[in-house]
Structure 1
């Protein structure tokens, strides 16, 4: 289904997650958690993040910048696009760093959550990858292309395919385009999969549109391996630091936002990812 990310988590796993996060000193009861400027700055700021590049960037900040800035930072890694937002909403973590604003807006709308962006950090260009072909011309009628099954990333993937002439979308469709919005598939077949599973699917399908963080985690180099890659100019999909509404003025959050937008972090991103991840600093448009 394209309207939600498919996650299969047992009740025991959820309970273990909640216990593990609570054991680290963060209450799972939002009402007991100080917010905003009243937050206890002596406690570590716990941030949920995807492993690559988000946790890598946070670990760099923790190792090289946080102590000097007086910030205690703790990073919790998650490998999906649902649990980090739920943990932030319930107060199990203080913030998260894994998503772009269109995804956040869609998540809030569908789940009744109250999460807000703090600052933009980087862009991970979405790319089309294949283990069976080396050029777009080979993706002809009958070939199967996999796309992310969550609303915003599927629309983003379809736009990439349309921009490269592989499909034609109906006039006027936006970032929430789905398979039903394809005017002309040009004979291509499509498979909707959870974003995290797309790299593993490359052995079984002809091509897949993969989010930048999962491509990097799968040892793919977007600038070299992608058959087609998103352009950075005017791209609304910068990845952002996110908190629950009311926590934007938490001094620890403010400090982390400053560090994530620092010249040192820009250099780290440029040097480490060589264009696979692009700095996209600054305020996030409403």
Structure 2
């Protein structure tokens, strides 16, 4: 493999995606504001860069995995950004989850500089990133998709070409909205079950095996029973999906009543101090309102 890959954003997901590309045999050049994952990957054979511009200047393909739209825009167009160091023909693939409308604008600006852009957000938590079993939703030129496919195959086991630029972010948003709705539904209904006298563990047994089953239920209910809200993406960070949905709803005149109700639950959780908890922590809003908790019964001593 002769293509040299750059990777910017070595957080919870990015570190493992970069490592798996490195293991697949791609020469790697990496950057993050946190030096720890840079040192980790340098120890595995990657080359450390000094800035996003420095990464872009020395690679053929560049991947990014960053927390939000604002940071992506700053890393690409800001001081010492990718656009400053990139040569025409650079392929830039954004693995971040950001808003759809800004994605189109990023593509427009990069096209003017001769930089080839694609959005390819991923789905799957840290464990799947480690195992190279995430889902990748690619939006961009199909020829470009086929060209970088070997790198994508190194990080995921479900690589789906969705269409033109922006299609990846739209698909990820659809997936996330359905997940968020499920999380908000659990948060609202499970405390009601306890308030009305049902046993939380028995309710959990039914919900995780019956028609009310969902990925959200399977993942969060066991953790909630154990009073654990530390696994999974924080509510405050995940709220960006609700903002993106509201932007699209307003621009395209698409009514989203259930999505809007879910956004209110997220807002309540953040305003009440639960924003750093996982989405399972949404339940704390309704537990407080009803004066109850969906937890395992404490064993008598």
TM-score tier (shorter):
under 0.3
Rg: which structure is higher?
Answer: 2
The higher relative CO (CA closer than 8 Å, separation ≥ 6) is in 1
Which structure dedicates a bigger proportion of its chain to helix? 2
**TM-score, normalization by structure 1:** 0.24
- Looking at secondary structure, tell me which structure has more strand per residue: 1
Q: Calculate the TM-score normalised by the size of structure 2.
A: 0.23
